[in-house]
Structure 1
Amino acid sequence: MSDLKHFGRVLVIAPHPDDEILGCGGTIARLSAEGQEVHVAVTTQGYPPAFSEESVAQVRREMTSAHEIVRVSQTHVLDLPAAALDQVPASQLNAKLEQLVKDVAPDTLFLPFVGDIHGDHQLIFLASMVAARPRHDKAPSRIFCYETLSETNWYAAPVTPAFVPNVFIDISDTLETKVRAFAAFASQVRPFPDERSIEAIESLARIRGAAVHLRAAEAFVLVREIARKT
Structure 2
Amino acid sequence: MTPPFNARRIAVVAPHPDDEILGCGGTMARAAAAGAQVHVIVVTRGQPPLFEEALVRQIRAETLRAHAMIGVTDTQFLDFPAAGLDRVPRSELNHALSSALARIEPDLLLIPFIGDIHLDHQIVFNAALVHARPRSGNGPGCVMAYETLSETNWLAPGVTPAFIPNIFVDIGETLDRKIAAFRLFQTQVKPSPDERSLEAIRALATLRGATVHRHAAEAFVLVRQIH
User: Residue 193 of structure 2: SS of its match in structure 1?
Assistant: coil
* 1:123-166 alpha-carbon deviations (Å, 9 max, x no partner): 00000000111100001000000000000000011010000000
Equivalent in the alignment of 1:60: 60
- Matched positions, count: 227
Higher mean C-alpha deviation, range 164-173 or range 94-103: 94-103
Residue 134, structure 1, aligned to residue 146, structure 2: no
- The CA distance in 2 between the partners of 1:105 and 1:197, in whole Å, is 34
Identity %: 56
Equivalent in the alignment of 1:220: 220
Equivalent in the alignment of 2:158: 158
Cα gap change, 1:3 to 1:90, in 2 (>3 Å): closer
The answer to whether the 8 Å contact 1:26/1:177 transfers is yes
* AA in 2 matched with 1:95: H
- The CA distance in 2 between the partners of 1:10 and 1:99, in whole Å, is 15
The correspondence of residues 81-92 of structure 1 with structure 2, limited to 5 A, is 81-92=81-92
Displacement of 1:100 in angstroms is 1.2
* 1:64-122 alpha-carbon deviations (Å, 9 max, x no partner): 11001101000011001000000000111111111112111111100000000000000
The correspondence of residues 56-205 of structure 1 with structure 2, limited to 5 A, is 56-205=56-205
Q: Runs (4+) of structure 1 moved beyond 4 Å? A: none
Give the aligned CA root-mean-square deviation in angstroms.
Answer: 0.9
- TM-score under structure 2 length normalisation: 0.98
Structure 2, gaps ≥5 residues long: none
- TM-score under structure 1 length normalisation: 0.97
The answer to whether the 8 Å contact 2:15/2:120 transfers is yes
Displacement of 1:2 in angstroms is 5.7
